Amino acid sequence: MAGFFSRLKEGLTKTRNNIVSSIDAVFGGFSTIDEDFYEELEEILIMGDIGVNATEKILERLREQVKEKHIKEPAACKELLIESIREQMQVGETAYDFENEQSVVLVIGVNGVGKTTSVGKLAGILKDQGKNVLIAAADTYRAAAGEQLLTWANRAGVPMIGGKEGADPASVVYDAVNAAKARGVDVLLCDTAGRLHNKKNLMEELKKINRIIEREFPDAHRENLVVLDGTTGQNALNQAREFGQVADLTGIILTKMDGTAKGGIAVAIQSELNIPVKYIGVGEHIEDLQKFDPEQFVNALFDVKEEDLAEEMTGGNEDGE
């Protein structure tokens, strides 16, 4: 787990250097907690893509706590700010039932966000858990997409079912679902296209794929993961909302968090979408896709030291790691 945490921390370096060092500068630069202090914090959080709504909630909570605890020194409320961000990210227990049941996992998202890469990484993770995994390459619009996925499938040591360029993606899914049933596959991972002639066609195709899975494999546990590119900021929220109109989204894979200084988007997503971030991508290697733990994310971001965590845990958090 230590390796995981340090990879996460390393992946969040750009965000830490941006948001967290600016926050530190405010804590160090103000001698009293006044409106200017809150305004500066607000600006930094919004600039870091935490989003207007989540920022408002975070600062409202901070103000309450500052009042309640009679805090006068800005430096003394850093912990409270971190805690308030943590609170905003809590969405309850995140379930990974697809790991333990026969499942079909549909991976959707717009073009270039990291769907194929994430399917490949996920296949590797599940295979390492001893699962029988099958990949369906339902992005038949781009020949390179199938080849790229095959490279990942080979790397993960997992079979793949694809179709010729231009084949009907729904027919690839049909074949893959039936193969999954026949072979007793634990998890079928379906990569989908991110680009069609227009958005309407893309959405219609996803609906069709959904219907086929429901009809052919009604007993399978379903997981619909939308992939969002962390570097696209608030746009990512809109994409999730749009995909949410055609598929019952069960989780988010937030990619490229290593490539952005505005990793606050994870806070905005957790706080505003009501769909849990299940995985976070912090690099291009297989081990750079990690299960998302909001607590760990905030600790990695703010570089919360182990001693501080131990203190917090003895403060009543019994189910800490």
Residues lying near ligand GTP in the complex (CB under 6 A): 109, 111-117, 139, 145, 148, 194, 255-256, 258-259, 281-284, 288
State yes or no: 266 annotated in a binding site. no
Identity at 300, one-letter amino acid code: A
**First and final CA of the chain: distance in angstroms?**
10
State yes or no: 115 annotated in a binding site. yes
Considering beta carbons, is residue 33 or 193 the nearer one to ligand GTP? 193
Using an 8 Å Cβ cutoff, are 172 and 162 in contact? Answer: yes
Identity at 261, one-letter amino acid code: A
* Residue recorded with tokens 């971190």: 82
Nearest distance from C-beta of residue 191 to ligand GTP, angstroms: 7
Considering beta carbons, is residue 74 or 294 the nearer one to ligand GTP? 294
**Any long-range contacts for 155-160 (C-beta under 8 Å, 24+ apart)?**
155/120, 155/124, 155/286, 156/120, 156/123, 156/124, 156/127, 156/286, 157/127, 158/123, 158/124, 158/127, 158/133, 158/134, 159/134, 159/135, 160/134, 160/135, 160/136
State yes or no: 114 annotated in a binding site. yes
State yes or no: 112 annotated in a binding site. yes
Using an 8 Å Cβ cutoff, are 74 and 31 in contact? Answer: yes
Using an 8 Å Cβ cutoff, are 139 and 176 in contact? Answer: no
Distances in whole angstroms, Cα of residue 42 to Cα of each of 47, 50, 237, 307: 8, 10, 20, 29
Considering beta carbons, is residue 139 or 186 the nearer one to ligand GTP? 139
State yes or no: 24 annotated in a binding site. no
Nearest distance from C-beta of residue 243 to ligand GTP, angstroms: 13
Considering beta carbons, is residue 74 or 109 the nearer one to ligand GTP? 109
Nearest distance from C-beta of residue 100 to ligand GTP, angstroms: 25
Nearest distance from C-beta of residue 45 to ligand GTP, angstroms: 23
Nearest distance from C-beta of residue 92 to ligand GTP, angstroms: 25
State yes or no: 250 annotated in a binding site. no
The two structure tokens encoding residue 34? 């006044």
State yes or no: 14 annotated in a binding site. no
Considering beta carbons, is residue 33 or 158 the nearer one to ligand GTP? 158
User: Residues comprising the binding site?
Assistant: 109-116, 191-195, 255-258
User: Residues comprising the binding site for GTP?
Assistant: 109-116, 191-195, 255-258
